[in-house]
Amino acid sequence: MKVPELRIGESVAGIFETSGKPIFFKVRPPEAGEDILIALDRMDPAGWSEAFVGCERAPTEQDFCMRSQEWNEPHATVTIPNASFQWYYLELLARSLPGGQAAFTLRADILEYSLSSVGLKKGSNAGYVTLPLYGAKFRPGMKAWLVGTDSVRHEALMVIFGDSTTLYALFDLRGMAPGLYDVYVERNGVERALTKAFEIVSGTAGQLETRVLMPERVRVGRQFTVWIEYVNTGGTDLVAPIISVESPTGAQLKLRPEEEFWIARSSSGRFQWWVFLGSLGPGNQAEFLSMSCRWRGITG
pLDDT digits (tens, 9 = 90+) for 35-61: 999 999 999 988 999 999 999 999 998
In a domain, 6, yes or no: no
Using 70 as the pLDDT threshold, list the residues of the chain that sit under it: 221, 240-241, 247-251, 255-278, 283-300
Question: In the prediction, which pLDDT does 7 show?
Answer: 96
Instruction: State the pLDDT at residue 270.
Output: 46
**Residue 136 lies in domain:** 114-201
Q: Which of 74, 92, 111 is the last residue of a domain?
A: 111
Q: Would you tell me how many other CB atoms lie within 10 Å of the CB of residue 235?
A: 23
* 3 domain residue, yes or no: no
Instruction: Let me know if residue 20 belongs to a domain.
Output: yes
Instruction: Report d(CA 284, CA 164) in Å as an integer.
Output: 27
CATH number of the domain residue 252 falls in = 2.60.40
Residue finishing a domain among 169, 201, 233: 201
Structural domain contains residue 270: yes
Provide the 10 A C-beta neighbour count for residue 140.
10
Rounded to a whole number of angstroms, the CA Rg of the chain reads 23
The pLDDT score that the predictor gives to residue 295 is 54
The count of domains in the chain is 3
Residue 240 shares a structural domain with residue 165 = no
The domain that holds 124 is classified in CATH as 2.60.40.10
Q: Considering only CA atoms, which of 91, 90, 102 is closest in space to residue 47?
A: 102
In a domain, 4, yes or no: no
Q: Does a structural domain hold residue 299?
A: no
Q: CA 141, 146, 150 angle in degrees (round to 5)?
A: 145
Per-residue pLDDT reduced to its tens digit, 67-115: 998 888 999 999 999 999 999 999 999 999 999 999 999 999 999 999 9
Element of type H or E holding 233 = none
Say if 1 falls within a structural domain. no
| pTM for this predicted structure | 0.72
Predicted pLDDT at 271: 46
pLDDT of residue 231: 82
Asked which of 84, 111, 138 is the last residue of a domain, the reply is 111
Shared domain for 159 and 229, answered yes or no, is no
Residue 33 lies in a domain: yes
